Amino acid sequence: MGETIGFIGLGNMGTPMANRLLDAGYKLVVFDTRDEVVAPFVARGAKRTSSAADAGSEAETVLVSLPTPDVVQKVVAEVAQGTAVRTVVDLSTTGPRVAAAIGAELKGRGLTFVDCPVSGGVGGAKAGTLAVMISCPRATFDRLEPMLNHIGKVFFIGEAPGAAQMMKLCNNLMSAAAMAISAEAITAGVKAGIDPAVMVDVINVSSGMNTATTQKFPKSILNRRFDYGFATGLMFKDVRLCLEEAEGMGLDLKTAQAVRSVWQKVMDELGPDSDFTRIIEVIEKPAGVTVGKIG
């Protein structure tokens, strides 16, 4: 295949996505501030760069997968200083306003910005089954789609930067709500004397089934491992960004506001770095029960 792609941000999501591109035959130049996550890529033949700007001087297309909007803005500005880069693809979740601002900044430099958040978690990133939401010029989408097909199912959302971000935030608001209400409902059942594993089995063949009951509870909550791989701080960030956009449009979303309050409580009690499946601890503690068991 031969094409060289820049990839910046080798975290929980970035690492499996970058590995899939290597598997597909792309040449990668990579950058991350942590040597320990870069080393395995170098061992597989990727080229290490010393900075984000250097990555932008090595590849015409640079992908970034980063945790917060401020980090994305800082890193993309550095990438844009590179001499080779023509297209920057942001796989992060920043919110529509930040995406629009980055898009305008890069356009002023003669570069193309691709707003490209993904959904599906670490498991989806490893399996190549992510939902890949894209807003960018149609011609750019047509050029990038074959590459992005290696990390998931690609959806063209629109041409304006920020459209894909709004799609991602709406999805994550629903995911956050599912986690919160599932934790509350299953805690209530346990308080009433029902086995939580039985509850999950029943819910998953009933109308209450959702991604929390099909994935998070079986994989990381009932066994008390709390190792799903997504941080509470990131979940809260996505809910907050979605509410900010909704309120900016004059919407009064009562359920979403309640979801934000629940995740704010989880943030306050467990901290932003906790695995987001630990929400159950915040719900079960005042109930005086434990949902699930080790082993």
From the list 294, 62, 269, 259, the residue with the least C-alpha distance to 176 is 259
Please state the length of the chain: 295
Counts for the chain of helices (H) and strands (E), in that order: 13, 9
Q: What are phi and psi of 292, to 5 degrees?
A: 90, 180
> Within a 10 A sphere around the Cβ of 213, how many other Cβ atoms?
23
Out of 168, 191, 219, 285, the active site residue is 168
Instruction: Compute the distance between CA of residue 115 and CA of residue 5 in angstroms, rounded to an integer.
Output: 17
Instruction: Tell me if 95 sits within 8 A of 165, measured CB to CB.
Output: yes
Instruction: Tell me if 90 sits within 8 A of 115, measured CB to CB.
Output: yes
From the list 233, 193, 235, 198, the residue with the least C-alpha distance to 217 is 198
CA atoms within 13 Å, Cβ hemisphere of 215: 17
Instruction: Tell me if 280 sits within 8 A of 225, measured CB to CB.
Output: no
153 in catalytic set: no
Query: What residues are annotated to the active site?
Result: 168
